[in-house]
Amino acid sequence: DTAVSQTPKYLVTQMGNDKSIKCEQNLGHDTMYWYKQDSKKFLKIMFSYNNKELIINETVPNRFSPKSPDKAHLNLHINSLELGDSAVYFCASSQEGSGNTIYFGEGSWLTVV
């Protein structure tokens, strides 16, 4: 069983479209995250949710909107896609607390054309 699963794995879409990436974790964790990896492999946190509540919201355009229907799911919706949004988006989860491991999904490769 995949611990953190995200779909789709690959997504190619045109500028201006709206798309969503879904994420689910079956680890019973109470905290979930979205990270963005750019073309130079640099990883940066976008959002963090704890028990469905937003706790970290880095400087991200408001075209990006996370939604957590329950603590096992954290979806990422992106409006009006731009070329610069092309990246790999990683969902992750952890149990709250210092030193706890953050587990990552396999990534969603988004290409905006």
Partner 1 sequence: GDSVTQMEGPVTLSEEAFLTINCTYTATGYPSLFWYVQYPGEGLQLLLKATKADDKGSNKGFEATYRKETTSFHLEKGSVQVSDSAVYFCALSDSAGNMLTFGGGTRLMVKP
Judged by CB, which is closer to partner 1: 35, or 78?
A: 35
For 77, the 3-state DSSP assignment is strand
Place of tokens 């992106």: 78
Provide the minimum distance between the beta carbon of 15 and partner 1 in the complex, in angstroms, as a whole number: 25
- How many residues in the chain? 113
For 78, the 3-state DSSP assignment is strand
Place of tokens 């957590």: 68
Judged by CB, which is closer to partner 1: 14, or 40?
A: 40
Judged by CB, which is closer to partner 1: 68, or 90?
A: 90
In the region spanning residues 67 to 106, those forming contacts with partner 1, defined by CB under 8 A, are 90, 92, 94, 96-106
Provide the minimum distance between the beta carbon of 80 and partner 1 in the complex, in angstroms, as a whole number: 27
In the region spanning residues 10 to 69, those forming contacts with partner 1, defined by CB under 8 A, are 31, 33, 35, 40-45, 48, 50, 55-56
Nearest to 93 by CA among 34, 8, 9, 41: 34
23 contact partners, CB below 8 Å, separation of at least 6: 4, 5, 6, 32, 34, 73, 74, 75, 76, 91, 105
Applying CB under 8 A, which residues contact partner 1?
A: 31, 33, 35, 40-45, 48, 50, 55-56, 90, 92, 94, 96-107
